[in-house]
Amino acid sequence: MLELEKRSVVYLPGVGPKRGEILKKELGIQSYHDLLYYFPYRYMDRSRFYSVREMDEDMPYIQLKGQILTFNELGEGRAKRLVATFSDGTGTMDLVWFKGHKFVKDKLKTGITYIVFGKPALFGSRYNIAHPEVDLVEQSEQISGGLVPYYNTTELMKRTFINSRVIQNLQFALLDWIQGKREEILPEAIKQRVGLIEINEAMQNIHFPQSTDLLKKAQLRLKFDELFFLQLNMLKTAKLRQYKYQGILFARVGDYFNTFYKTKLPFELTGAQKRVVKEIRTDMGSGRQMNRLLQGDVGSGKTLVGLLSMLLALDNGYQACMMAPTEILANQHYITLLEFLKGMDVRVALLTGSIKKKQRAELLPALEKGEIQILIGTHALIENSVNFASLGLVIIDEQHRFGVEQRSKLWNKNKLLPHILVMTATPIPRTLAMTLYGDLDVSVIDELPPGRKPIKTLHRYDNRKAELYDFIRKEVKIGRQIYVVYPLIEGNEKLDYKDLEAGFELYQELFPSYTVCMVHGKMKPKDKEAQMQRFSSGEAQILMATTVIEVGVNVPNASVMIIESAERFGLSQLHQLRGRVGRGADQSYCILSSSFKLSAETRKRLEIMVATNDGFQIAEADLKLRGYGDLEGTRQSGEGIDLKIANLATDGQLLQLARDIASEVLAMDPMLEHPSNRCLQQRLAQLFTKKINWGMIS
Ligand code: ADP
Ligand code: MG
């Protein structure tokens, strides 16, 4: 056994403690295994040599073979540089370094044949390559087939001379140490069925491809591995959970649920809501612990489904809590629930970061005694000081904003595992859902409450503002309310707030007889709330805001959403914002205001928004346009799914196959005890021992 995951990379020739520390800090590479699975991000064809005579400024990266004639240090201060005259027999050019002079001079000698690689530039009438890669001829022969791997490195790494080339050398040393002796991690039958090459061959060729064909095969093999073991882990953990943990049995439907349903429900549930409530009831009444993801587009009525589920918990003598990602949203849920439950004997409380000490001091003991039955809140709910008497159901709203670890803290608040309902309005493409929530049962609300008119979405360039203001005037006059949203991009906050504030002043001038209010993330929670309150009560007609209102805010009378600089928002964010209107019976509008200058991709985004209201279509389009890594929500949550090689936007079919096979394997051999499956069990242990806890809760 090589035990790659137990060997510290520090002991690899060429690393040592100092570099080891940097690799760990910058790339999270600690073991041989970590290093081996640090894949190149691209490959460069270096089979062709160019000559100095044919050099041309427009060339991309090229390589030359020749010798250094002289070294000269030129210039002063920032322009100080080391210049080596390089000749390949057809002419001379310069190699230039602006830093690391000593290192270069120690390493490179005149009169030795090197292979030089870099991007040519013209300075005056002379060609040069700045900070070239320089290798001995023998060194570069490590690479047959001419495909050279390139590894991402960070600024700090570059400063300490751990560049792509150094990583390449480390990979070479590591593969040399392994000598193709790593044990196979997939059963023969699976490899044959999918048509996969052997693991050692794949590893060799992902770092040092012998041909483009073998590179493709290596990629297929490693993508499959990645997806397959993720699915296997998820499905196996879900099975295990069912075996091991008894769920809290909600055996009865009692007075809370029935009274509410019969006398308080202000409208008929939609068919989809009824179906989902039934799925949840069945789950919670099964004796198994529920882990359910509820997907439903914005405005589809998830809150009510959540409330009905909580009443079931109450009927069975348990408490319930609902966790929201922002204070605005938690407040709003709180108000909504109080409204819904008016006249019923249910004690609901709110706990957020801005609840005062004194209030907390009253609230926490009441919660611990079980007097508070429903607790609504933000992250504050997961603090250690928050204890329940008997927590039976946890609802997490807009789940993509919650990290797995945060959820796991909630989880530990009870001896028996509470039921978990995760609600998300961000439609998640199938491949992503399979990867992130593969072990959750999924319910979908695919129907909006009746009487809603589809929102009309328009795209307008900035030069038609006068028209826009006329439109706003008209809508306000007939009693509607308007949102105006400004972008807020990280790192650019100052400017963005200026935009918002300038907009605020402009609107106050433009609409003197109406009330304009403003919210943004920099306000104190109390002020934010007060402004929101002015808008939701109808006192203010126009609300100017940053994206703080993106999630979940509900003002049914607001029927116009104006998005300024719409080109600066992502698709799913635009869709979330649009979802703030169209909540009442009136015709609603979403107006995307943008400048003329749009990239092709941005234009496409806006076109999609105009073309469809369907969140799932938008999510799929988003995934295609931007790729998985950028998908909103996944990036924010730091969701522990860190795919190194597979791509959810393009590898959907492979993912499905991996999932099917994983599920077949587990159906035959749930504990992976069969000799031919023992390698799978071992691999799971290697990959997921550290993460086993989150596997249980996500
Ligand atoms: P979301 O799924 O985005 O969280 P909400 O739960 O906020 O949606 O519901 C949006 C609006 O629709 C709320 O005003 C809610 O009261 C209303 N609503 C929910 N269900 C129904 C229904 N069956 N019929 C009519 N209105 C409904
Ligand atoms: Mg909601």
With a cut of 60, say whether residue 686 has pLDDT above it. yes
**Which residue's CA is the closest to the ligand 1 atom numbered 17?**
301
Binding site membership of 104 for ligand 1 (Cβ less than 6 Å) = no
With a cut of 90, say whether residue 533 has pLDDT above it. no
How does the average pLDDT of the chain come out, rounded? 87
The CATH code of the domain that includes 392 is 3.40.50.300
Verify that 493 and 411 share a domain, yes or no: no
- Residue 21's Cβ-side half-sphere holds a number of Cα atoms within 13 Å equal to 4
With a cut of 60, say whether residue 115 has pLDDT above it. yes
Counting ligands in written order, the one closest to the CA of 296 is 1
With a cut of 90, say whether residue 250 has pLDDT above it. yes
Task: Please report, rounded to a whole number, the percentage of residues in the chain having pLDDT higher than 70.
Answer: 90
Strand partners, 117: 63, 133
Q: Given pLDDT bands bounded at 50, 70 and 90, which one contains residue 92?
A: very high
How many residues are recorded in the chain?
Answer: 698
10, 20 in Cβ contact below 8 A? Answer: yes
Which atom of ligand 1 lies at the shortest distance from residue 556's CA? 14
Distance 342 CA to ligand 1 centre (A): 17
Verify that 33 and 84 share a domain, yes or no: no
Verify that 210 and 266 share a domain, yes or no: no
- CA 314/CA 318 separation, integer angstroms: 5
In a domain, 626, yes or no: no
Which atom of ligand 1 lies at the shortest distance from residue 305's CA? 6
SS3 assignment, position 584 = coil
Residue 105: other Cβ atoms inside 10 A: 14
Binding site membership of 298 for ligand 1 (Cβ less than 6 Å) = yes
> Which two three-digit tokens encode residue 211?
């041909």
- CA 315/CA 181 separation, integer angstroms: 60
Which atom of ligand 1 lies at the shortest distance from residue 267's CA? 24
With a cut of 60, say whether residue 675 has pLDDT above it. yes
Please state the φ and ψ torsions of residue 150, each to the nearest 5 degrees: -120, 130
- CA distances to 146, 228, 339, 660, 672 from 663, rounded to whole Å, are 40, 10, 45, 5, 12
- CA 299/CA 579 separation, integer angstroms: 7
**596-617: average pLDDT:** 90
**577-598: average pLDDT:** 90
Who wins on pLDDT, 683 or 380?
683
- CA 162/CA 22 separation, integer angstroms: 9
Distance 367 CA to ligand 1 centre (A): 28
Verify that 113 and 209 share a domain, yes or no: no
The residue with tokens 């077949």 is 664
Please state the φ and ψ torsions of residue 634, each to the nearest 5 degrees: -65, -40
Please state the φ and ψ torsions of residue 460, each to the nearest 5 degrees: -130, 135
In a domain, 632, yes or no: no
SS3 assignment, position 602 = helix
With a cut of 90, say whether residue 181 has pLDDT above it. yes
In a domain, 132, yes or no: yes
Q: Name, in order, each residue with C-beta under 8 angstroms of 568's C-beta and a sequence gap of 6 or more.
A: 487, 489
Residue 170 confidence (pLDDT)? 96
Max mean pLDDT range (484-488, 521-525, 591-595): 591-595
Counting ligands in written order, the one closest to the CA of 398 is 2
pTM of the model: 0.66
654, 231 in Cβ contact below 8 A? Answer: no
> Which two three-digit tokens encode residue 666?
């587990």
Residue from 261, 264, 267, 399 to probe ligand 1 pocket by mutation (most atoms less than 8 Å from CB): 267
Verify that 272 and 397 share a domain, yes or no: yes
The CATH code of the domain that includes 107 is 2.40.50.140
**Which residue's CA is the closest to the ligand 1 atom numbered 19?**
301
Per DSSP (E only), the strands in 279-411 are 291-296, 319-323, 348-351, 374-377, 391-397
- CA 248/CA 417 separation, integer angstroms: 7
- CA distances to 58, 65, 96, 133, 690 from 122, rounded to whole Å, are 9, 19, 12, 18, 52
Tell me the CA end-to-end span of the chain in Å, nearest whole number.
Answer: 32
In a domain, 188, yes or no: yes
- CA 111/CA 101 separation, integer angstroms: 19
- Residue 44's Cβ-side half-sphere holds a number of Cα atoms within 13 Å equal to 17
State how many domains the chain has. Answer: 5
Verify that 226 and 274 share a domain, yes or no: no
Distance 596 CA to ligand 2 centre (A): 34
Binding site membership of 427 for ligand 1 (Cβ less than 6 Å) = no
Binding site membership of 577 for ligand 1 (Cβ less than 6 Å) = no
C-alpha angle 287-292-298 in degrees, rounded to nearest 5: 145
Verify that 271 and 411 share a domain, yes or no: yes
Distance 582 CA to ligand 1 centre (A): 11
In a domain, 583, yes or no: yes
* Domain housing 278: 255-445
Which atom of ligand 1 lies at the shortest distance from residue 451's CA? 25
In a domain, 639, yes or no: no
Residue 696 confidence (pLDDT)? 37
Verify that 416 and 555 share a domain, yes or no: no
Which atom of ligand 1 lies at the shortest distance from residue 445's CA? 2
Q: Given pLDDT bands bounded at 50, 70 and 90, which one contains residue 630?
A: very low
> Which two three-digit tokens encode residue 558?
């607001």
With a cut of 70, say whether residue 585 has pLDDT above it. yes
Give residue-wise pLDDT tens across range 631-666: 433 333 334 456 889 887 788 889 989 999 999 999
- CA 270/CA 275 separation, integer angstroms: 9
Residue 448 DSSP class: P
HEC states along 8-32? EHHHCCCCHHHHHHHHHHHHCCCEH
Verify that 173 and 261 share a domain, yes or no: no
Residue 698 confidence (pLDDT)? 32
* Mean pLDDT lowest among 122-131, 612-621, 636-645, 682-691: 636-645
Distance 450 CA to ligand 1 centre (A): 10
- DSSP states of 206-271 as a string? HHS-SSHHHHHHHHHHHHHHHHHHHHHHHHHHHHHHHHH-PPP------HHHHHIIIII--SPPPH
Give residue-wise pLDDT tens across range 420-474: 898 987 666 777 777 777 777 888 898 888 888 889 999 999 888 999 999 999 9
Q: Name, in order, each residue with C-beta under 8 angstroms of 428's C-beta and a sequence gap of 6 or more.
A: 295, 436, 437, 619, 633
Verify that 378 and 286 share a domain, yes or no: yes
With a cut of 70, say whether residue 401 has pLDDT above it. no
Counting ligands in written order, the one closest to the CA of 615 is 1
With a cut of 80, say whether residue 160 has pLDDT above it. yes
Q: Compute the radius of gyration of the chain from its Cα atoms.
A: 30
Q: Given pLDDT bands bounded at 50, 70 and 90, which one contains residue 627?
A: low
Q: Given pLDDT bands bounded at 50, 70 and 90, which one contains residue 625?
A: confident
Q: Torsion angle of alpha carbons 303, 305, 306, 308, nearest 10°?
A: 120
SS3 assignment, position 128 = strand
With a cut of 70, say whether residue 608 has pLDDT above it. yes
In a domain, 638, yes or no: no
With a cut of 80, say whether residue 45 has pLDDT above it. no
Counting ligands in written order, the one closest to the CA of 397 is 2
Who wins on pLDDT, 618 or 406?
618
C-alpha angle 279-281-287 in degrees, rounded to nearest 5: 110
> Which two three-digit tokens encode residue 498?
């200026």
Binding site membership of 556 for ligand 1 (Cβ less than 6 Å) = yes
Residue 463: other Cβ atoms inside 10 A: 9
Binding site membership of 449 for ligand 1 (Cβ less than 6 Å) = yes
Residue 111: other Cβ atoms inside 10 A: 7
Which atom of ligand 1 lies at the shortest distance from residue 273's CA? 23
* Mean pLDDT lowest among 15-19, 238-242, 388-392, 559-563: 238-242
In a domain, 157, yes or no: no
Counting ligands in written order, the one closest to the CA of 304 is 1
The CATH code of the domain that includes 172 is 1.10.150
Last residue of a domain, one of 114, 144, 174: 144
**515-537: average pLDDT:** 88
Distance 272 CA to ligand 2 centre (A): 16
**573-596: average pLDDT:** 90
Distance 401 CA to ligand 1 centre (A): 21
Distance 267 CA to ligand 1 centre (A): 10
Q: Name, in order, each residue with C-beta under 8 angstroms of 23's C-beta and a sequence gap of 6 or more.
A: 9, 15, 29, 30, 35, 162
Task: Please report, rounded to a whole number, the percentage of residues in the chain having pLDDT higher than 90.
Answer: 53
**191-219: average pLDDT:** 95
Residue 596 DSSP class: S
Last residue of a domain, one of 383, 410, 445: 445
**242-248: average pLDDT:** 76
Verify that 316 and 411 share a domain, yes or no: yes
**Which residue's CA is the closest to the ligand 1 atom numbered 23?**
269
Verify that 431 and 517 share a domain, yes or no: no
With a cut of 80, say whether residue 213 has pLDDT above it. yes
**403-424: average pLDDT:** 71
> Which two three-digit tokens encode residue 638?
């730091």
- Alpha-carbon torsion (395, 400, 402, 405), positive or negative: positive
Give residue-wise pLDDT tens across range 326-384: 888 898 899 999 999 999 999 999 999 888 899 999 999 999 999 999 999 988 888 88
Measuring CA to CA, which residue among 240, 358, 325 is closest to residue 288? Answer: 240
Binding site membership of 269 for ligand 1 (Cβ less than 6 Å) = yes
Binding site membership of 559 for ligand 1 (Cβ less than 6 Å) = no
Q: 73-82: list long-range contacts, CB under 8 Å, 24+ apart.
A: 73/101
Strand partners, 558: 481
**Which residue's CA is the closest to the ligand 1 atom numbered 18?**
301
SS3 assignment, position 124 = coil
Q: Given pLDDT bands bounded at 50, 70 and 90, which one contains residue 408?
A: low
Distance 278 CA to ligand 1 centre (A): 18
Distance 281 CA to ligand 1 centre (A): 20
Which atom of ligand 1 lies at the shortest distance from residue 302's CA? 2
Binding site membership of 296 for ligand 1 (Cβ less than 6 Å) = yes
Residue 697 confidence (pLDDT)? 35
> Which two three-digit tokens encode residue 485?
């949203």
Distance 637 CA to ligand 2 centre (A): 18
